[in-house]
Amino acid sequence: MLSRYLSKIFIGICSGISFPLTITILDYWLKDLGISNTLIGLFSFIHWPFMLKFLWGPIIENFDIPLLSKKMSRYKGWMTCSYIFLILGIVIMANSNPTTNVFWLIFGASLVAIADGCKNIVLYPYQLIGKKEDSVGFIASCVNIGNRLGSIFIKVSTLYVAHFFDWRTAYLSAALMIFSVMVINFVIEEPHKKFENREDFSLKQSYLKSFFLPIKRFLKSEHSAKFLAIVGLYKAADFMMQKMSRIFCIEVGFSKIEIANIIQFYGSITVIIGSFLGGYTIKKLGLIRSMRLILTLHAISFLAYLLLTEFGKENTLLTMIITFEALSGGAVTACFIAFFYTIAADLTTYAVLWALYEFSSLIFMSVSGIFANFLGWKLFFCLVPMLVIPNLILLRKIQLKNIC
């Protein structure tokens, strides 16, 4: 049981360790250079290639990587290739200068997003090893805990290195950390799956078999339209708050070290506790009722930022706010991952639904700066929590057999 628990956590670490480099950490870097909130929000579009991972999902499922797959396996060959390009993209970002030549930053970040998407597709079958109907909450909690641990490690370490040295050194150190994770990947348990490797298997056939047929099956399922709406909207408020609340904290006067300690380190540890609470709540209340309850609590946590607009830079107050937000946020993510495990039975459906989720993330994050500037911080923190209302309505209208 312990080994199964640890393996799911490590898979979560692999999934989460590189994602912040083109979102959260890049935001801090750009803000440090004096770039406006509106432009920082629009820089979220740099992450757009991550959404397109469903396009190469059927290729990963049906074709080997030359040389690498013969030495390892199909999945591990693709995983190694994605890590190599991931590290290359991070090195390119490290050596770019956003204020004088933004092209190389965009190119490097795009390469990171493509490789990260490829890696996450390969890791999905590893997450489902040992999945049973009564274990989705457990698996979701473990993966989310690992994801947060990877996120803690990369965010906090990068911010510390940037504080004591510079951003170039910070990104180069991140590349070294991800290389270490790549090495450990060689020993993780693989899904027990027999791969087809026919020489006459065409690209068209692979897309028919591994893309169109699974999507057709999903769209014919009951509540598929509601599932799509929930995937696209469930974390809309969270996306906008994640993007702008951190920028708000910088404007209030919190330093990089304070942000690293309170928001990234302490906040991420608290998220892990929230993940446990999310898994426990799913077991006790069922998935759908848990999603409704926890999403409501998470929306209420956003309103707490109004206190900072009144009292200004107060470390104790920020710690209390982050505690509430992170506990509910960890539980929200555990519920959302469990929801994915329930509705996405294969790699392609997962990739397409996750692309929708990422597209939602991209849209809401990219306009968050515009809304923050237009509304002002007080009105922004009042209105953003209202975005959870459509989800609460949708979640009352669906049922998941044997889960809820």
Domain assignment present for residue 402? The answer is no
Domain assignment present for residue 401? The answer is no
65: which DSSP letter?
P
Domain assignment present for residue 201? The answer is no
Q: How far apart are CA 159 and CA 16, in angstroms?
A: 16
CB 274 within 8 A of CB 378: no
Domain assignment present for residue 193? The answer is no
- pLDDT tens, position by position, 303-319: 999 998 888 888 899 99
Give the pLDDT confidence score for residue 88 in this predicted structure: 95
Per-residue confidence band for 171, with pLDDT thresholds at 50, 70 and 90: very high
Whole-angstrom CA distances from 306 to 70, 321, 382, 388 are 57, 10, 8, 18
CB 21 within 8 A of CB 154: yes
Which residue range forms the structural domain that includes residue 270? 2-187+207-395
Domain assignment present for residue 176? The answer is yes
Residue 404 has pLDDT above 50, yes or no: no
Q: What is the mean pLDDT of residues 376-388?
A: 90
Domain assignment present for residue 50? The answer is yes
Per-residue confidence band for 401, with pLDDT thresholds at 50, 70 and 90: low
Supply the DSSP string of 288-300, one letter for each residue.
HHHHHHHHHHHHH
Domain assignment present for residue 382? The answer is yes
Q: How many CB atoms lie within 10 A of CB 4?
A: 15
Q: What is the CATH number of the domain that holds 103?
A: 1.20.1250.20
Q: What is the mean pLDDT of residues 172-182?
A: 91
Tell me how long the chain is.
404
For the chain, how many structural domains are there in total? 1
CB 32 within 8 A of CB 40: no
Q: What is the mean pLDDT of residues 293-299?
A: 93
Per-residue confidence band for 43, with pLDDT thresholds at 50, 70 and 90: confident
Residue 165 has pLDDT above 70, yes or no: yes
Domain assignment present for residue 15? The answer is yes
